[in-house]
Structure 1
Amino acid sequence: MSAPRAGVGIVLVSHSAEVAHSVAGLARGLAGGAPAVRIAVAGGTGHGGLGTSAELIVAGAREVDQGAGVAILADLGSSVLTVKSLLVDGELPDGCRLVDAPFLEGAVAAVVAVSAGAPMDAVEAAAGEAYAYRKS
């Protein structure tokens, strides 16, 4: 019997720990529980306030990295800039990508894709396609 294939990890970066945890829970729930999907949240500052923590982002990426890539979704301006800076400085594991997607809808799409065994390129594409979701 072969070992299970390593899946893409997901890091949700929000200015709020509560928002990051809620989005992770919703995405996991809508993906049927998705027990095999590794999701880390990097919400708020290290001291529990609103903001972005580079340390939490790096720790989250390392936690979910299994060698198949890590899709990082960020909510607002400075969280995006922090992830970009960490990527440029080489502080994140190889294979990490900042995914251009709406935070909530993109997270759901990414978790569903990972739960189906999609590789990194397909996870990124699925999350990005969430921009096309129309509500009217």
Structure 2
Amino acid sequence: MSGEKLVGVVLVSHSAQVAASVAELAKGLAGGGTIAPVAAAGGAPDGSFGTSSDLITEAAAAVDRGAGVAVLADLGSAVLTVKALLAEGDELPAGARLVDAPFVEGAVAAVVTASAGADLDAVAAAAAEAYEYRKA
């Protein structure tokens, strides 16, 4: 990837497969051209279901390009783990933010928006707007 300062996106799920699949879907739907850095942080280190602060911090460091990191989480304890890391103050990159958004739709919106070069506020807003997507 070039030296562009793009917002990175971390997808935190209780399942490694879910996190990886949603990351692939979001990157695929972002289209051609530059794709914002995306990392999956799913499951426990041993491959079981759960969340891992180590996997989350590694993923956030891997996608940090200096423009902030949007973190989306699937369920309760994933959200709590991210909140605890943010409260620590030095566990996640400066500018990391937990984004309140639906996991799949929000991830797609975040990656598409970040890939267009938007700032962290715009990426978070696009992901949060996914709550308004209606399917019927």
TM-score by length of 1: 0.95
Q: How far apart are 1:36 and its partner, in Å?
A: 3.2
| Counterpart in the other structure of 1:131 | 131
Q: Aligned-pair RMSD on alpha carbons? A: 1.2
1:107 maps to 107
State the distance in 2 between where 1:27 and 1:5 align.
19
The 5 A counterparts of 1:1-136 are: 4-33=3-32, 35-90=34-89, 91-136=91-136
Runs of 4+ residues over 4 Å off in structure 1: none
Q: 1:81 to 1:34 in 2, by over 3 A?
A: farther
Which 5+ residue runs of structure 2 have no aligned equivalent?
Answer: none
Q: 1:32 Cα deviation (Å)? A: 1.0
Return 5+ residue gaps in structure 1 as ranges.
Answer: none
| Percent pairwise identity | 66
Aligned 8 A contact 2:30 2:115 in 1: yes
SS at 2:12 equivalent: strand
